[in-house]
Structure 1
Amino acid sequence: MTNQTRRQFLGGTAGLVIGMTLPLRGRAQSGAANAFAPSGEPAKFAPNAFVRIAPDDTVTVIIKHIEFGQGPNTGLSTLVAEELDADWSQMRAEQAPANNELYANLLFGLQGTGGSTAMANSYTQMRQAGAAARHMLIAAAAEQWGVPAEEITIEKGTISHAASGKSSGFGALAEAAAQQEAPAEPKVKDKSEFRLIGTDRPKLDTPEKTDGTAIYTMDVFRDGMQTVVVRHAPKFGATVASFDDAQALEVPGVEAVREIPGFGVAVYARNTAAAMKGREALSIEWDESKAETRSSEQMYEEWSKAAESARDVETAGDFSGKFDAGETILEEEFRFPFLAHAPLEPLDAVLEVKDGKAECWMGAQFPSLDKPAIAQGLGIDPENVIINVMFAGGSFGRRAQPTAHIGAEIAAIAKAAGGDGSWKLVWTREDDLQGGYYRPLTVHKLRGALDAEGNITAWEDVIVNQSIMAGGPMAGMMKDGLDPTSFEGGTKMPYDLPDMRVGWAQMETAVPPLWWRSVGHTHTGYATEVFLDMLLEKGGKDAVEGRLALLGNDDAGRDRAVLEKVAEMAGWTGERVKDGRGYGVAVHESFNTYVAQIVEVSDIEGFPKVHKVWCAVDCGVAVNPNVIRAQIEGGIGYGLGTVLFDEITLLEGGTVAQQNFDTYRMLRINEMPEIEVAIIDSDADPSGIGEPGTPPVGPALANAWRALTGTTVTRLPFRAEKV
Structure 2
Amino acid sequence: MADNESSEKKRKKLSRRKFLVRGGFGTLGVLAVGTYLFRNPIRRTILKKVNSMDIEYLGSTDNPMLWFELGKDNVVILHSPKVEMGQGTFTGIAQMAADELDVPFENVKVVHATTDTGNIDQFSTGGSTSISGLWQPLRELAATFREMMKIEAANKLGVSISQLSVKDGVVSANGESLTYVEISEGVTDWTIPKKPILKDISSYRFVGKPLPRVDLADKVYGAPMFGLDAEMPNMLYGAVVRPSKIGAKFISATTDKAEKMPGVVKVVSEDDFVGVVAESYMEAENAKQAIEVVWETPDNLQQDEIVAMMTVGNGTSSIIQKQGAALEGDDKVQMEFRSPIGAHAQIEPNGVVAYVEASKATIMISTQVVGITRKEVSSRLGWDVEEVNVIPTYLGGGFGRRLHTPHAVQAAVMSKAVGKPVKYIFSREEEFQHDMFRPPTHHILKGSLNEKGLLSGLEHHFVSGDVGNNSALLPNVVPTILGADVGAIRGAFIQYTGVPNHRSVYWHVDLPFATSWWRSLGLLANTFAIESFVDEMALKAGKDAIEFRLAHVNDDEAGKRLKEVMRTAGEKAGYSEEVKNGRAMGFAASVDAGTPCAHVVEVSVEDNNIRVHKVTVVLDPGLAVNPDQIRAQCEGCVIMGMSAVLFEQMKVVDGSLTPTIYGPYEMALMKHAPREIDVVLLQGKDTPGAVGEPPLGPIGAAIANAVRRLTGKRLQSMPLKLT
When the two structures are superposed, what TM-score results if normalisation uses the length of structure 1? 0.87
- Cα distance in 2 for residues equivalent to 1:661 and 1:308: 33
Deviations for 1:165-191, whole angstroms, at most 9, x for unmatched residues?
A: 444543333337876632232111222
| Deviation for aligned residue 1:92 | 0.3
Match of 1:52 among 69, 72, 75: 69
Q: How do 1:73-84 and structure 2 match up within 5 A?
A: 73-84=90-101
Deviations for 1:535-586, whole angstroms, at most 9, x for unmatched residues?
A: 11111111111111111331311111111121121122x3342222111111
Q: Which residue of 1 aligns with 2:59?
A: none
- Cα distance in 1 for residues equivalent to 2:392 and 2:12: 27
| Deviation for aligned residue 1:638 | 0.8
Q: Which residue of 2 aligns with 1:189?
A: 199
- Cα distance in 1 for residues equivalent to 2:266 and 2:371: 31
- Cα distance in 2 for residues equivalent to 1:189 and 1:313: 41
- Cα distance in 2 for residues equivalent to 1:386 and 1:22: 24
Q: Which residue of 1 aligns with 2:420?
A: 421
Q: How do 1:277-316 and structure 2 match up within 5 A?
A: 277-289=286-298, 293-304=300-311, 306=313, 310-316=317-323
Distance 1:245 1:685, change over 3 A: same
Distance 1:281 1:437, change over 3 A: same
Distance 1:325 1:234, change over 3 A: closer
- Cα distance in 2 for residues equivalent to 1:128 and 1:480: 33
Q: Which residue of 2 aligns with 1:134?
A: 146
Q: Which residue of 2 aligns with 1:39?
A: none
- Cα distance in 1 for residues equivalent to 2:413 and 2:155: 57
Deviations for 1:198-231, whole angstroms, at most 9, x for unmatched residues?
A: 1111111121122122422322223332211222
Distance 1:223 1:181, change over 3 A: closer
Q: Which has the higher mean CA deviation after the structures are superposed, 501-510 or 65-74?
A: 501-510
| Deviation for aligned residue 1:145 | 4.4
- Cα distance in 2 for residues equivalent to 1:608 and 1:527: 19
Q: Is contact 2:66-2:117 (8 Å) kept?
A: no
Q: Which residue of 1 aligns with 2:458?
A: 459
Indicate yes or no: 2:209 matched with 1:207. no
Match of 1:115 among 117, 121, 127: 127
Deviations for 1:594-626, whole angstroms, at most 9, x for unmatched residues?
A: 111111111111111111111111112111112
Q: What letter matches 1:61 in structure 2?
A: L
Indicate yes or no: 2:276 matched with 1:267. yes
| Deviation for aligned residue 1:61 | 0.9
Distance 1:156 1:259, change over 3 A: same
Deviations for 1:87-113, whole angstroms, at most 9, x for unmatched residues?
A: 112110111123797433xxxxx1421
Deviations for 1:423-462, whole angstroms, at most 9, x for unmatched residues?
A: 1111011111110310111111111112343211111111
Q: Which residue of 1 aligns with 2:229?
A: 219
Q: Which residue of 1 aligns with 2:690?
A: 688
SS at match of 1:218: helix
Match of 1:577 among 552, 576, 579: 579
SS at match of 1:491: coil
| Deviation for aligned residue 1:471 | 4.3
Indicate yes or no: 2:349 matched with 1:349. no
- Cα distance in 2 for residues equivalent to 1:571 and 1:349: 49
- Cα distance in 2 for residues equivalent to 1:144 and 1:621: 39
- Cα distance in 1 for residues equivalent to 2:510 and 2:117: 32
Distance 1:664 1:6, change over 3 A: farther
Indicate yes or no: 2:387 matched with 1:384. yes
- RMSD after superposition: 2.8
Indicate yes or no: 2:326 matched with 1:324. no
Q: Is contact 1:314-1:503 (8 Å) kept?
A: yes
When the two structures are superposed, what TM-score results if normalisation uses the length of structure 2? 0.87
Match of 1:362 among 339, 362, 365: 365
Distance 1:336 1:693, change over 3 A: same
Q: Is contact 1:237-1:288 (8 Å) kept?
A: yes
| Deviation for aligned residue 1:678 | 1.3
Deviations for 1:346-390, whole angstroms, at most 9, x for unmatched residues?
A: 111111111132111111211222112111222222221111111
Indicate yes or no: 2:675 matched with 1:666. no
Q: Which residue of 2 aligns with 1:339?
A: 342
SS at match of 1:487: coil
| Deviation for aligned residue 1:319 | 2.4
Distance 1:704 1:68, change over 3 A: same
SS at match of 2:374: helix
| Deviation for aligned residue 1:645 | 0.7
- Cα distance in 1 for residues equivalent to 2:596 and 2:287: 50
Unmatched runs of 5 consecutive residues or more in structure 2: 1-6, 23-62
- Cα distance in 1 for residues equivalent to 2:214 and 2:707: 40
Distance 1:302 1:364, change over 3 A: closer
Q: Which residue of 2 aligns with 1:172?
A: 182
Q: Which residue of 1 aligns with 2:52?
A: none
Q: Which residue of 2 aligns with 1:476?
A: 477
Unmatched runs of 5 consecutive residues or more in structure 1: 10-17, 24-45, 105-109
Q: What letter matches 1:497 in structure 2?
A: V
| Deviation for aligned residue 1:518 | 0.8
- Cα distance in 1 for residues equivalent to 2:509 and 2:486: 14
| Deviation for aligned residue 1:126 | 0.8
- Cα distance in 1 for residues equivalent to 2:513 and 2:228: 28
| Deviation for aligned residue 1:691 | 1.2
- Cα distance in 2 for residues equivalent to 1:129 and 1:325: 61
Q: What letter matches 1:345 in structure 2?
A: E
Q: Which residue of 2 aligns with 1:37?
A: none
SS at match of 2:100: helix
Q: Which residue of 2 aligns with 1:26?
A: none
How high is the sequence identity, in percent, across the aligned residues?
28
Q: Is contact 2:252-2:294 (8 Å) kept?
A: yes
Q: Is contact 1:22-1:102 (8 Å) kept?
A: no
Q: Is contact 1:99-1:367 (8 Å) kept?
A: no
- Cα distance in 1 for residues equivalent to 2:330 and 2:605: 39
- Cα distance in 2 for residues equivalent to 1:354 and 1:590: 45
Deviations for 1:483-531, whole angstroms, at most 9, x for unmatched residues?
A: 2322222125244222122112211122011110010112111111111
Q: Is contact 2:643-2:667 (8 Å) kept?
A: yes
Q: How do 1:582-661 and structure 2 match up within 5 A?
A: 582-651=584-653, 653-661=654-662
- Cα distance in 1 for residues equivalent to 2:187 and 2:94: 20
- Cα distance in 1 for residues equivalent to 2:190 and 2:287: 61
| Deviation for aligned residue 1:233 | 1.0
- Cα distance in 2 for residues equivalent to 1:717 and 1:677: 25
Q: Is contact 1:599-1:614 (8 Å) kept?
A: yes
Q: What letter matches 2:199 in structure 1?
A: K
SS at match of 2:487: helix
Q: Which residue of 1 aligns with 2:396?
A: 393
Q: Which residue of 1 aligns with 2:88?
A: 71
Match of 2:559 among 539, 556, 559: 556
Q: Which residue of 2 aligns with 1:154?
A: 166
- Cα distance in 2 for residues equivalent to 1:268 and 1:714: 48
- Cα distance in 2 for residues equivalent to 1:553 and 1:697: 25
Q: Which residue of 2 aligns with 1:27?
A: none
Q: Which residue of 2 aligns with 1:124?
A: 136
| Deviation for aligned residue 1:142 | 4.3
SS at match of 2:421: strand
| Deviation for aligned residue 1:247 | 4.3
Distance 1:395 1:253, change over 3 A: same
Q: Is contact 1:600-1:704 (8 Å) kept?
A: yes
Deviations for 1:122-153, whole angstroms, at most 9, x for unmatched residues?
A: 11111112212222333444444455544543
- Cα distance in 1 for residues equivalent to 2:153 and 2:172: 9
- Cα distance in 1 for residues equivalent to 2:410 and 2:524: 29
